[in-house]
Each structure stands twice: as C-alpha cells, then as structure tokens.
Amino acid sequence: MDSGKINDTTRREHGVSSPPRLLVELLEGTGVNIDGNDPCDIQVHDAETYRRILTRGSLGFGEAYMDGLWDCQQLDSMLTRLLSTLASVVGGWLINHQSPRRAFRIGERHYDIGNELFEAMLDPTLSYSCGYWAHAGNLEQAQRDKLDMICRKLELRPGERLLDIGCGWGGLARHAAQHYGVEVFGITVSREQLTLGRKRCAGLPVTLELMDYRDLQGQYDKIASVGMFEHVGPKNYTTFFDTVRRLLAHDGLMLLHTIGDTTTSHSSDPWIDKYIFPNSKLPSSQQIAAVIEPDLVIRDWHEFGLDYDRTLMAWWENFNRAWQSLHAVAHDQRFYRMWKYYLHCCAAAFRSGQMQLWQIVLTWRGARPGYRSVRP
C-alpha cells in the first residue's frame, strides 16, 4: 500500500478501520490504493464500504459510492485502472430477461426518467450513442458525423424506405429524411422518446411508433439499429436477426451499431443491471457471427471504441454543468452520484479496452458483392 495513506490513529479518529487484508491484496498491482495521496486512490469515509465490496462485489462498490461512503478525485482514471486488471463475475443467464413481456422495462426504467435530463446531457441531435470523433472538435459535430457516416454506409437514396430499430428521439430518422430524402419508420420502447421524437420529426416523411421489434411488419430497402442491440439479450439474438431477414429487401443493407464485449459470456455487471440498464447484455463478436449465418454476410466491421470514452466524458461535462437546474426539477444528490458513477465507469470500460464499439454492415449472401464501406 502507498505510504501516503492515512495512519491507523487518524482512521480511529474518523471511525474508519483499516481495510481488510483481502481487499488490500485484491488491489495490489492495480495502481489504486485506499486513502493514498494519488488522485486515483479511493478515499474511504465509512468502513461500511468494505463490507459492501466484500459481500456484494461491483454492486456493493457502486452502491457505496452512490451513498457517499467513498470518493475519488479522478473517478474515471481509477476505474480504468481497476477494469484493466479486475473483472466482475456474476450469474443470471438462466432467465430470458429480454422476453416480449419484459421488453418495455428498459424504456420505463431508463429512457423515461425525463427528457429534460437527456436534452441537457446530449447534443442537439439527441444522439444517445457513440459519436465519431475522427474529424470532430465537439460533441455535436461528432454525432452529426456519426449520423452521416451511417447514412453513407447504408448508401441511402431518395425514395428508399429506412427502418430504424430503436429510434430514440429520432436523431437518425430526422437526419436521413432531411439530407438523404428517404422515408423512415422508427420504433422505440420509450414513451418519453416517442413523444419528443415525433415533435422533432414533424413535417418530415418520418413515422415513429411505440413497438417491440418482434411485432414489425413490411419490407425495407435499408435497416439500421443504433444502440439498441445491447438490450436484445443472447436468448433473442436469433429472433432479432430472423426479424431482420423477414424485413430486409433482397438487395438491401443493414447496419448494426452496438457496444461489444471482448469476451463471450452470459453475465452483466450487477450494478449497471440494477441501476442503469436493466436486463441488458453486451454481445460478443462470436455471438453476432453465429446468428447471422448462413444467409447473411458481413460486408464491413468498423471498431471505434475509444470514441465512446470521449463521448461519455462529454456527456458528463454537460450533465455536471446542468446539474443545478436538473436537481431543482426532480433529482437528488444520490441520483447525481449514481449518474456520475455510470458515465465514468462506462468511459473507463472503453478506455481500458474491456468494451468496444462496432458498426457492422450486413447484406444477404450473394447481394452487393462489390460493396465498399466508408471511413470519413
């Protein structure tokens, strides 16, 4: 342990006991100490922190932060160090958490907490997915570049029909209709997203509906799903792509924009599952490849996960800047710490390489053999 940690006398004065040996050994080699002087060290205010970590793992660690039991000056950097060397292990793969009956829970628990929060945190396009920072100097430009890159990868042409599975607040639908002259049908499981999205797309050839993807009908020239596949769940990957097969025109293109896990597993972080994205699970490349065979073909696989680190930290800056007005409306200090922990933890996961961001372009086997993707 670092020699700059507070001594035992100071601990007793503040009612904080020395950390358990097991926890000390766990942190060895991570570059993170308890009560040290480094900005990445954990400052423990209450010994209850130790019990929660040892009995509940990452869930207890996150909850202790929400309750103000510990702090860290550079939260994102500390979490990056931990995620680079430690990993959470949790069960829970027996239940189909993303069944049709549960499909709308993510909308109710996360996206319906209030449009005011997301309007304050996100950019003017209301894009709640990774921006593309190759040529961007700010969040709004990164998101507009991302939206345009999707449209170009899909080779959108005036008069085509685009299906947006998981349309959010209509950012992609609006961009595609305005700049590429396509007709868009988008679906979401969030009532709040639907209400605002319809207002933002008024006057455009855009239709947005509250709907589960399994209920979709019709045929589309192009299909996009941006930041939604993380909520589908492994037990439903086959169903999701069977739906794509049923809806995609024979010479069509499908783009999947999703966070990806570098390993195949059936587990999710318990803190994220409980407080941020209930019933969600990141796919691995192996899981995606397995369910698109034998009749769909990958034409392009683009990874730019480090851009999500930058996107998340931009969201944090916006959220933190707007906190006083958000706090006055509906949210308390525990919510503030929860949201801060969420954004910093996710940024650390991308920075440490534990999570990636993929854009995958698919076609029917034999269709568009000369397809060439773009890298703006």
- 161-165 and 220-226: which strand pairing? parallel
Nearest Cα residue to 208 out of 159, 166, 158, 146: 166
Exactly one of 40, 151, 167, 346 is catalytic; name it.
Answer: 346
In sequence order, the 6+-apart residues with CB closer than 8 A to the CB of 24 are: 1, 34
d(CA 153, CA 373): 6
Beta bridge partners of 361: 255, 300
In sequence order, the 6+-apart residues with CB closer than 8 A to the CB of 172 are: 127, 147, 150, 151, 164, 184, 186, 224, 226
d(CA 70, CA 33): 13
Nearest Cα residue to 149 out of 168, 123, 169, 129: 129
Active site residue 346: yes
**Amino acid letter for position 52:** R
Which DSSP state fits 330?
T
Which DSSP state fits 7?
P
Task: Please give the radius of gyration of the chain, using alpha carbons only, rounded to the nearest integer.
Answer: 22
Quick check: helix, strand or coil at residue 137?
coil
Q: 32 and 40 in contact (C-beta within 8 Å)? A: yes
Catalytic residue set: 346
